[in-house]
Amino acid sequence: MNISSPTPQNVVDRIVSIQARLRELAQELGITTGQVILMLQVMESPPQPFNPGVNAILTARAKADNPFVPNVLNEDHPPHAGAEDVKETEAPSPFDGSPEDARPFLNRIEAWFTLLPHQYRLTRTRIISTCRLITTSPASAWAQSVSLAICNYDDDPAYCDNWQDFCAQFLESFGIPNEREDALDQITRFCQEELELSVFIAEFQRLKNRAEISEEFALREFRRGVREDIFEAVSQMVPVPSTLQGWIQASQERDLQLRDMEEFKRANRLRKGKAKAQSSPSSSSYYEPQVTEPRDDSPPLPPYVPLADTFPERDSVPLPSLDIYQACCRHFLQQLIMPSD
């Protein structure tokens, strides 16, 4: 099928039709036709690469030593491909001022940045936002000086545009002194006890990374700290795991098996308890307890005689002699044997 080329008049008609449609669209959006055309051009143009911008302070410091060095750009943290900001993400809790919270505070901050990779792409934005969450003295004074130096572009010793350097300064000033030694001391005393296995493993890995210990040392401490029943179950495996990761994986599997066994035993106890309750006579609505009626010919119960030591007058009143007691008994028997008149 042969398709003839459009005539000039056809081209003009199509352009006029498109122009009329653009005018209608502009009226619906409340903008001009030129703005609609500009939006179409932007949509058709390829996205421009992100430019972090030149860091004037660091560039000036570098050129003071060598005028021919290239400009220093602001530190950038490019998001991963396809990463999007999670809307309505709340800011983490502020730093509470204690050395024990210094490292967890930075972990909360970095998790916050992970959820908002585009919003907190530049280091200067990260540091300023972090300083706003450091509100306890004396850390607040340090945070304020760093934040002001960044906001005002002051060539000040407090100025920083490197996230790792900022975190290192914060931990050195307000974190746990000798953090590595402290983590080493904790991991040698850390035991699972009543903790969930997942919680124990996560905390053990954190202490291991902070203490910077070898795999052999970490394996020995893990075997010592894990719960005894899990240790025995893994130790009976053939072959026994020989690495830390192998022990962690085997412990998770055995812990799941032990949980299933405990749940089975609990369900079995409940089932047996219900079956026993159903078979018990007291649980039947047709069971009537038998009441024993008193017999008329049964001898009367003997009268209650209190113990001798309950009488306060026991020591003051003398007891009857044996002869008198025997005489009373003979008289009582005679009365029973002799017929009444």
Q: Which two tokens stand for residue 207?
A: 């202490």
- The per-residue pLDDT for range 143-175, each reduced to its tens digit, is 999 999 999 988 889 999 999 999 999 999 999
Reported as a pLDDT band with limits 50, 70 and 90, residue 312 is very low
Q: Is residue 59 part of a domain?
A: no
- The per-residue pLDDT for range 320-335, each reduced to its tens digit, is 555 665 666 676 666 6
Instruction: Please identify which residue in the block is written with the tokens 């000798």.
Output: 178
Are 143 and 107 in a shared domain?
yes
- The per-residue pLDDT for range 94-146, each reduced to its tens digit, is 999 999 999 999 999 999 999 999 999 999 999 999 999 999 999 999 999 99
Burial class of residue 252 (count of CB atoms within 10 Å of its CB; 0-12, 13-18, 19+) = middle
Q: Is residue 338 part of a domain?
A: no
Query: HEC profile for the chain?
Result: CCCCCCCHHHHHHHHHHHHHHHHHHHHHHCCCHHHHHHHHHHHHCCCCCCCCCECHHHHHHHHHHCCCCCCCECCECCCCCCCCCCCCCCCCCCECCCHHHHHHHHHHHHHHHHHCCCCCCEHHHHHHHHHCCECCCCHHHHHHHHHHHHHCCCCCCCCCCCHHHHHHHHHHHHCCCCHHHHHHHHHCCCCCCCCCHHHHHHHHHHHHHHHCCCHHHHHHHHHHHCCHHHHHHHHCCCCCCCCHHHHHHHHHHHHHHHHHHHHHHHHHHHHHHHHHHHHCHHHCCCCCCCCCCCCCCCCCCCCCCCCHHHCCCCCCCCCCCHHHHHHHHHHHHHHHHCCCC
Domain end position, chosen among 254, 274, 294: 274
Give Cα 43 to chain centroid, integer Å: 44
Are 215 and 198 in a shared domain?
yes
Average pLDDT, the chain: 83
Q: How far is CA 237 from CA 197, 245, 268, in A?
A: 19, 15, 27
Q: Is residue 326 part of a domain?
A: no
Residue type at position 42 = V
Are 187 and 242 in a shared domain?
yes
pTM above 0.85, yes or no: no
Cα atoms found within 13 Å of the Cα of residue 192, Cβ hemisphere only: 22
77: left (phi over 0), alpha (psi -120 to 50) or beta: beta
Are 191 and 170 in a shared domain?
no
Structural domain count of the chain: 3
Residue 123: per-residue pLDDT:
95
Q: Is residue 341 part of a domain?
A: no
Q: Is residue 60 part of a domain?
A: no
Q: Is residue 334 part of a domain?
A: no
Q: Please give the residue range of the domain that contains residue 231.
A: 181-274
Are 251 and 168 in a shared domain?
no
Q: What percent of the chain has pLDDT over 90?
A: 48
Are 200 and 163 in a shared domain?
no
Are 141 and 92 in a shared domain?
yes
Are 207 and 238 in a shared domain?
yes
Residue type at position 210 = R
Are 167 and 254 in a shared domain?
no
Q: Is residue 268 part of a domain?
A: yes
- The per-residue pLDDT for range 281-308, each reduced to its tens digit, is 555 555 555 555 555 555 565 565 554 4
Are 195 and 148 in a shared domain?
no
Q: Is residue 145 part of a domain?
A: yes
